[in-house]
A = this chain, B = another copy of it.
Amino acid sequence: MSRQRELADQLGVSTATVSRALNDKPGVSTETRRRVVAAAHEMEYRPNAAARALTTATTRTVVFAVHRHQFPLGIDPFYPGIMRGLEETLAAEHYGVMLLTLSDADVQAGPASLPVFQEGRVDALVAAGPDIPPQFILAAASSSLPVILVDNALRETAIPTVTSDDSGGCRAATCHLVDVHGHTSIALLRGTPGWVSSDERAAGYCEAMAAAGLEPRVVSVEGTTIETGAEALTDVLESWPGVTAVVAVNDAMAIGAIRQARELGRRVPEDLAVVGFDDISWAALSDPPLTTVRVPIVQIGRRAGRVLLDHFDEVVTVSSRTTLATELVVRTSCGCAPPPLEGVAFDGVRQGSDQP
């Protein structure tokens, strides 16, 4: 690993010139710059990260923070997927991504209590998920650390945000039930209120219902799991026996609802149409294959990376809120007919195929 000094000696110039040339700073003749760049390439010169960080107070490292309860667990690697997208785009510019899983105690204590911030190891914070409290985020933001939110948002702040079109997706799903299948008695199974994506999805459902001149019926439960999906479905059926379709705010709840519906003697989709949200790997594999709304997981991460890169490039941005399109994936749980051939594509299996 050659040093800047060696490069300079080799070329008979000063290290200052080398530095300027390599960092695209003014004050170097075109010819000199060319020679330096060529020699750097030739000698495989790479700037030492620590030295650069010390002088520039810039680490070229970003931290991806997520609540520990959310990170790798469960039915689908949602946050890992975002992290991968982030890493992909950042790595291309020689930025690194560190993982930070937050315990409840960490979240309470705030960012100032975490070594990674205290020691100045990162240039920015990507906070993922709705369960990192505003207090934590605001504390980080006000400490002059660039912050960007993914799968979360904070009203009344200028914190950049990348989310997916939750309301649009849920609107599309609801409309599909109304327009294609003619349902008029459609309930929403929602989980924990207050989580941005959950709220948005609920809003989309309500909009679609209103547009169709139908009365919305929302059942809230605590949590968005298979169990709570089953629980919510039981509630709906009890309070509204005439219901013919349900929209769940995520696939886990949808799957729970389907199981419970059958348990209670309803066929899906014949007696009850069900649609989910997220398009987790199992959606295609469930019985019946789940109609759901696909969230562009990896793309959320990529976009967050781009926003950060722009920020580091000092592209001045007044505000930045990105909403990525979701897509209705029609399978059969809504009542649509299965595709003619080949059946389900078993994609997204571990050690299996790639993702776009």
Which residues of chain A have a CB within 8 Å of any CB of chain B? Answer: 1, 44, 46-51, 53-54, 57, 59, 61, 64, 68-81, 83-84, 87-88, 91, 94, 96-101, 115-116, 118-121, 191, 223-227, 250, 252, 255-256, 280-282, 285, 287, 297-298, 346, 348-355
CB nearest neighbor in B for A96 = B98
Known: A50-B59, A77-B72. A250 touches B351 (CB 8 A): yes
Known: A49-B121, A72-B298, A354-B69. A349 touches B98 (CB 8 A): no
Best-surrounded residue of A116, A255, A298 (most CB of chain B within 10 A): A116
Determine if B118 and A99 form an interchain contact, defined as CB atoms under 8 angstroms apart. Answer: no
Determine if B227 and A346 form an interchain contact, defined as CB atoms under 8 angstroms apart. Answer: yes
Question: Smallest CB–CB gap between A68 and chain B, Å?
Answer: 7
Determine if A224 and B351 form an interchain contact, defined as CB atoms under 8 angstroms apart. Answer: yes
Question: Smallest CB–CB gap between A129 and chain B, Å?
Answer: 9
Across the interface, which residues of B come within 8 angstroms of A94, CB to CB?
A: 115, 119
Best-surrounded residue of A69, A75, A225, A351 (most CB of chain B within 10 A): A351
Across the interface, which residues of B come within 8 angstroms of A225, CB to CB?
A: 346, 349-353
Question: Smallest CB–CB gap between A61 and chain B, Å?
Answer: 7
Taking the full assembly, how many copies of this chain does it contain?
A: 2
Complex Cα distance A73/B88, Å? 14
A-B contact sample (16 more), CB < 8 A, given A70-B350, A96-B98: A1-B118, A1-B120, A49-B120, A50-B59, A51-B54, A61-B121, A70-B351, A72-B77, A72-B80, A72-B298, A75-B350, A75-B352, A88-B101, A99-B99, A226-B346, A252-B351
Best-surrounded residue of A75, A120, A297 (most CB of chain B within 10 A): A75
Determine if B118 and A285 form an interchain contact, defined as CB atoms under 8 angstroms apart. Answer: no
Contact of A120 among B48, B255, B280 (CB under 8 A): B48
Complex Cα distance A225/B118, Å? 44
Across the interface, which residues of B come within 8 angstroms of A71, CB to CB?
A: 80, 84
Complex Cα distance A46/B115, Å? 8
Determine if A119 and B348 form an interchain contact, defined as CB atoms under 8 angstroms apart. Answer: no
Q: What are the 5 tightest A-B residue pairs by CB atom distance, in nearest-first order? A: A74-B350, A50-B53, A72-B80, A77-B77, A80-B80
Contact of A98 among B98, B223, B350 (CB under 8 A): B98
CB nearest neighbor in B for A198 = B351
Determine if B80 and A47 form an interchain contact, defined as CB atoms under 8 angstroms apart. Answer: no
Question: Smallest CB–CB gap between A76 and chain B, Å?
Answer: 5
Determine if B282 and A282 form an interchain contact, defined as CB atoms under 8 angstroms apart. Answer: yes
Determine if B97 and A99 form an interchain contact, defined as CB atoms under 8 angstroms apart. Answer: yes
Across the interface, which residues of B come within 8 angstroms of A227, CB to CB?
A: 346, 349, 352
Across the interface, which residues of B come within 8 angstroms of A99, CB to CB?
A: 64, 83-84, 87, 97-99
Known: A71-B84, A80-B71. A98 touches B61 (CB 8 A): yes
Known: A96-B98, A99-B97. A285 touches B72 (CB 8 A): no
Question: Smallest CB–CB gap between A72 and chain B, Å?
Answer: 4
Question: Smallest CB–CB gap between A64 and chain B, Å?
Answer: 8
Determine if A349 and B120 form an interchain contact, defined as CB atoms under 8 angstroms apart. Answer: no
CB nearest neighbor in B for A287 = B287
